[in-house]
Structure 1
């Protein structure tokens, strides 16, 4: 993400863009793949549970509401990549730089804090989810071999270590521009496991069997208490917010696009394709998952199937999840790497440890530049996130908390404030008023969903049995 302008750069050189960086080659197709990779992540797995908490009416309605809000604010954010003019202005390479160029001051610092806390949380969440899917493969094979009466306990920790080892290798890829192939593979994987989940849900519905579904979701006095119903609904809102989160990497994705046609126009098209695609899958996975499991829908509708046959199909689905999350982890971690490494280069410009590149010949690949600081720092980051994931392996509560904390500031507040600032919108005009109402409504939603997720985490901590692999 941070590539220095070469000394022999000239403005007319066709090998470089207008900012002196290597010519960008991204298109609406690669941007759509990045978005689908970022959006259709582990969030899709909890949607059946989320709809079960709210029922047939409120559940799909909340899904559509979040999809509309996310698309609307992503179009505002796409116009902020260049400033002050959205087509010919100066490029901003990260979300934080966009906020600094348009809002400046304290809001820039708050944005950076919110963005990087969210990105770190997502990488931890993806480590948890990938390990759960890997455990599910081993458990399904255990059930198939020994029968469903066997407990088949498996620890998540060993699989988190395997996932971390894979990420340590992939994290040596220097920047976002070299990740298009990984995002395309991950996007294909997301379609694969979502389709398998849909097929299994349809098969379960078609196979008959009585499950309870209601217009308002889980029933007070039957499934939950009144207090539990409220907390679960709050948490479900956070899960859905997390399922649509990609604003924190939108600018980084847009920075991969070639400059003609204009990046903002291509990004709006990619956002529309990405969000329409994910909404279709979300509604299908959520509603069919709820129809299959009813009010007892599990937190992860793939790993929670009450039957494990055909076990090979569930294995394929969970392998697809793990492969997808390998790519999604990279999409979300690259902005963190770019920020830390850019700041380090600015602070220690003369350091050979920080700035030196050493060519290394890799069999079947060719020459690869190795930076010792990059190797040490990125490896350390992956190890730390894996350790945190081992300490807090609570799937739904963790997703809900990340979604609720990041949705308002990154998806709603900053895009709206930057749009108002760029257009010099008059205070208390009609558009200004309804934008502010939308912003405040989303703030209230984020607060209540965060409260639900914190309460859920507290409950999980009370009942957690370590090293049992039952999450």
Structure 2
């Protein structure tokens, strides 16, 4: 996610240089000297839907069960509206100083640097990279749980639903980590676009299977116990558990809507005409509304299917046992999706650390040296290896896997990531940048209600974080690390 400076490069043609000097764009290049962007409303909407619909959908039935038929859909709708509204503010911030003819910003941190500057850039970096680290840990947990679910599904099918079928997720975390160590060493990973397409197809597949199974269970006449207020105090949960779980469920819903970290990168793929901000706003409306309909279906139909006993993950919590082959397929889709998704979120971290180390120690052969690896019977070097890249990326994957092994709690971890990233990246920075860009007067009506929205979302995020931390603490008490 480093910044880009086309002036440092000499690869552009005379046509490009001339167009830049004239302040315009040529037939081949955009106004910043890069090749013409070809993104459209359709491609941007698809990117948003792909970025949003993911493992967050798995916990929505549980979240609705904690909140009930009234508050559950209301919270989903509120997050949907806030996410759409702040994404329109962020879309206007892509160019600075103005949304139509300013200078392009290529990443979220570039946008914050242009509009706010100072220590807020560092705060943005901490929030963004902290979120990326959290997501890679969360994906390790989720992928291993899905791999375990495949083995358990087959075990239940053979031995019956009463069998415990206890299986450790540690070996599966090790397998997932080994795959990630290999993938992490691929140079130019961003060019493997096919992996992103496969991941997108997988996320739609398992979400649709979960929704289909829920509909089938409801249509089959299952009488799950539901209520307007969700889980019942004294029957399902204690009074304090009801409060903490409700808070945690808000964090889970926040995680399901998080896509602000990639919004600027998506906008940077759009054509210049019509203006990127106008297209991005329409794409956000299409993407967020499509996702919301899907989430309401998954959450509400899942709650109708399972009732107050809804599992934390509706594909691995064994609300469904049959058809076992379809549940196996859905969980394999989750694992394949997260293999690619892990790299999408890890690559910016790898790039950031490697860029900083190269700038600090440019003379170090360990950090900057590329070593050719020759294979028998092949004249040309098969590939090059950088020892620092090998050591650092391997260490990162091992560290995230160890944390996942110590805290393998799906709902609590997703809630914490959602709560920690929602306020700064989805609400605070877009609102602050809009105020700075539009030069909104302090204490004016617009300034006041934007600030009220920002503070209200801060309170909601803190409540969600508290609920998730309490849930993690409760799980840690009764959990023995590295055991089944």
TM-score normalised per structure 1: 0.91
Kindly indicate whether the alpha-carbon contact (under 8 Å) linking 2:261 and 2:425 is maintained by their aligned counterparts in 1.
Answer: yes
- Within the candidate set 74, 78, 89, 1:65 is matched to 78
- Secondary structure of 1:309's aligned partner: coil
Cα separation, partners in 2 of 1:351 and 1:15, compared to 1, 3 Å: farther
Matched pairs, number: 467
Counterpart position of 2:23: none
**More moved, 281-290 vs 374-383:** 374-383
1:50 offset after TM fit, Å? 0.5
Per-residue Cα deviation, 1:88-117 (whole angstroms, up to 9, x for no partner): 433323222211111111211111111111
1:143 offset after TM fit, Å? 1.3
Per-residue Cα deviation, 1:14-65 (whole angstroms, up to 9, x for no partner): 7765545566555444444443333212211111010001100110010011
Q: Is 1:216 matched up with 2:229?
A: yes
Cα separation, partners in 2 of 1:106 and 1:376, compared to 1, 3 Å: same
Kindly indicate whether the alpha-carbon contact (under 8 Å) linking 2:146 and 2:332 is maintained by their aligned counterparts in 1.
Answer: yes
**More moved, 306-315 vs 407-416:** 306-315
Provide the rounded CA distance (Å) in 2 between the counterparts of 1:360 and 1:52: 55
- Within the candidate set 259, 277, 295, 1:246 is matched to 259
Q: In the TM superposition, what are the counterparts of 1:234-383 in structure 2 within 5 Å?
A: 234-351=247-364, 353-355=366-368, 371-383=386-398
Kindly indicate whether the alpha-carbon contact (under 8 Å) linking 1:177 and 1:256 is maintained by their aligned counterparts in 2.
Answer: no
Provide the rounded CA distance (Å) in 2 between the counterparts of 1:55 and 1:217: 3
Counterpart position of 2:433: 418
- Secondary structure of 1:436's aligned partner: helix
Q: What runs of 5+ residues in structure 2 fail to find an aligned partner?
A: 17-26
- Within the candidate set 419, 422, 426, 1:404 is matched to 419
Counterpart position of 1:12: 15
1:454 offset after TM fit, Å? 0.9
Counterpart position of 2:449: 434
- Within the candidate set 134, 137, 140, 2:150 is matched to 137
Q: What runs of 5+ residues in structure 1 fail to find an aligned partner?
A: none
1:189 offset after TM fit, Å? 1.2
Provide the rounded CA distance (Å) in 2 between the counterparts of 1:81 and 1:125: 29
Q: What RMSD, in angstroms, separates the aligned Cα atoms of the two structures? A: 2.6
Query: Based on CA coordinates, which of the two structures has the bigger radius of gyration?
Result: 2
- Within the candidate set 400, 405, 421, 1:385 is matched to 400
**More moved, 332-341 vs 274-283:** 332-341
Provide the rounded CA distance (Å) in 1 between the counterparts of 2:14 and 2:94: 20
1:443 offset after TM fit, Å? 0.6
Q: Is 1:454 matched up with 2:469?
A: yes
Kindly indicate whether the alpha-carbon contact (under 8 Å) linking 1:11 and 1:18 is maintained by their aligned counterparts in 2.
Answer: no
Counterpart position of 1:113: 126
Cα separation, partners in 2 of 1:360 and 1:188, compared to 1, 3 Å: farther
TM-score normalised per structure 2: 0.89
Kindly indicate whether the alpha-carbon contact (under 8 Å) linking 1:99 and 1:414 is maintained by their aligned counterparts in 2.
Answer: yes
Kindly indicate whether the alpha-carbon contact (under 8 Å) linking 2:406 and 2:482 is maintained by their aligned counterparts in 1.
Answer: no
Cα separation, partners in 2 of 1:259 and 1:377, compared to 1, 3 Å: farther
Kindly indicate whether the alpha-carbon contact (under 8 Å) linking 1:238 and 1:399 is maintained by their aligned counterparts in 2.
Answer: yes
Cα separation, partners in 2 of 1:452 and 1:203, compared to 1, 3 Å: same
1:211 offset after TM fit, Å? 1.5
Per-residue Cα deviation, 1:395-430 (whole angstroms, up to 9, x for no partner): 101111111111111110010000000000112222
Kindly indicate whether the alpha-carbon contact (under 8 Å) linking 1:38 and 1:328 is maintained by their aligned counterparts in 2.
Answer: no
Per-residue Cα deviation, 1:354-394 (whole angstroms, up to 9, x for no partner): 4455677999xx98665444333223222211111111101
Q: In the TM superposition, what are the counterparts of 1:64-213 in structure 2 within 5 Å?
A: 64-174=77-187, 177-213=190-226
**More moved, 238-247 vs 372-381:** 372-381
